[in-house]
Amino acid sequence: MTTASQRVALVTGSSRGLGRAIALRLARDGYAIAVNGLHDAQPANVAQAIRDAGGTADAFIGDVTDEAALDELVSVIAGRLGPVDVLVLNATGAQPDIPLADTTWSDHLDQLLFFVASPVWAGRAVLEGMRERGWGRIVHIDSEVSDRVPLHRSAYVAAKSAQIGLMRAWALELAPHGITVNSVGPGFIPVERHAELAPEVIADYVASVPAGRIGSPEDVAHAVSFFASEAASFVTGQRLVVDGGRSVP
């Protein structure tokens, strides 16, 4: 049986934030990590941190919202580390607050590009190899917004909800090939882009979480680790919400 140490994991958008934590966790699990980002320095820093800790990793620059670039990315990864066995669909873009009356179809397309088009292209790029090997893991990172809809985020909510539907449809079709497809739905997890949030905003959020704390990127990474593991071989089409109980009715 193939072990994690012989497998390759691509984590899209893994140069910082949730993606970085996921990459570091999967590296500790024994995967060779393809660290992905748009610019040279950040992915290289994450890959170096993994190597310094005794793991295997390399940095791969590529725009995952470009189909041709994604095909090239997966090909280059195969040449350097080996074919992709675990695909974590984490890359994200801006999520602006836009009142419904001002939300255009272009705003919807911006969100669908990251959360539907990119997963479709990335999945198709790795699919043939996973089928040939009879083993694969695809893990989406969605969002709590599908359960607790915020104001002025209709384009984002629609795209994230579509991503969940995509995950379930792929899971059904790919299960006979030994490929599982699941999703992790984080609650609010502070990362670099949230540095300017007012303390009262954080306090209000904590008050709404039964667990009484803000989640960490590592909380999300633990969930991804399970879905990527051999232990999850009979788990597919499932969504694990990591929000400290905030979504419980």
Domain assignment present for residue 196? The answer is yes
Domain assignment present for residue 248? The answer is no
Over residues 155-179, the mean pLDDT reads: 98
Instruction: Tell me the average pLDDT of the chain.
Output: 94
CATH number, position 23 = 3.40.50.720
Over residues 52-81, the mean pLDDT reads: 97
Predicted local confidence at residue 205, as pLDDT: 86
pLDDT at 33 over 90: yes
75 is in which domain, residue-wise?
Answer: 4-240
Pairing of strands 56-61, 86-89: unpaired
The total number of structural domains in the chain stands at 1
pLDDT at 213 over 80: yes
Give the C-alpha distances (Å, rounded to integers) separating 34 from 23, 60, 96: 8, 6, 29
Q: pLDDT tens across 88-121, in order?
A: 999 999 999 999 999 999 999 999 999 999 999 9
pTM to 2 decimal places: 0.94
Domain assignment present for residue 247? The answer is no
Catalytic residues: 156
Domain assignment present for residue 105? The answer is yes
Domain assignment present for residue 162? The answer is yes
Predicted local confidence at residue 191, as pLDDT: 75
Indicate if the alpha-carbon torsion angle 170, 163, 196, 38 is positive or negative.
positive
Q: pLDDT tens across 125-150, in order?
A: 999 999 999 999 999 999 999 999 99
Count the neighbouring beta carbons within 10 Å of the beta carbon of residue 242. 21
